[in-house]
């Protein structure tokens, strides 16, 4: 398995995170410049942003939580030579679910759909970790 094949899903996840960060920053600047919020009302991370700004901000923050375990696992699996087709397929599944989760989060923000997508992604990632731990334990 080439390093490119292994890291491509990780790169897509990183791009999603930076896209949401940039979008969130843009919306925040627009909200302050447009007078929708006063800088002093959000200077200490108070959640006084308009709802459309908060949706993108929280979608970005979500990409800094669970995906951290994905990044770590990808690097560990590569370093310990435990990457195979199953790993790569599961990595793409995880990233696809994170993309869908972000789309729902910044779109309709339907909590039920978001929860299903989050649980599905977390389950895929947990399975990836379990497979990895078993392989290392049995190696």
Q: Coil, strand, or helix at residue 34?
A: coil
Maximal C-alpha separation, the chain: 60
Q: Are the CB atoms for 71 and 127 separated by under 8 Å?
A: no
Which domains are seen in the chain, by residue range? Answer: 3-138 (1.20.120.550)
121 CB-near residues (< 8 Å, 6+ apart): 66, 94, 97, 98, 101
Helices (H), the chain: 3-33, 51-62, 66-79, 85-106, 111-138
The pTM for the full model equals 0.94
Token representation of residue 18: 């930076």
Separation CA 135–CA 5 (nearest Å) = 20
Residues 36-83: pLDDT tens digits?
999 888 888 788 899 999 999 999 999 999 999 999 999 999 999 999
Separation CA 13–CA 5 (nearest Å) = 14
Q: What is the pLDDT of residue 42?
A: 87
Residues 71-121: pLDDT tens digits?
999 999 999 999 999 999 999 999 999 999 999 999 999 999 999 999 999
Distance of CA 117 to the CA centre of its chain: 12
């Amino acid at each position: 398995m080439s390093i490119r094949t292994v890291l491509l899903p990780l790169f897509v996840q990183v791009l999603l995170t930076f896209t949401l960060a940039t979008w969130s920053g843009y919306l925040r600047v627009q909200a302050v410049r447009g007078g929708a919020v006063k800088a002093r009302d959000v200077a200490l991370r108070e959640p006084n942003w308009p709802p459309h700004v908060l949706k993108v901000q929280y979608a970005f923050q979500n990409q800094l939580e669970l995906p951290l375990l994905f990044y770590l696992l990808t690097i560990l699996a590569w370093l310990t030579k435990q990457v195979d087709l199953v790993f790569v397929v599961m990595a793409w599944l995880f990233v696809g679910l994170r993309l869908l989760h972000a789309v729902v989060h910044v779109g309709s923000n339907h909590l039920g759909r978001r929860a299903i997508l989050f649980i599905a992604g977390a389950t895929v990632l947990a399975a990836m970790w379990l497979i990895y731990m078993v392989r290392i334990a049995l190696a």
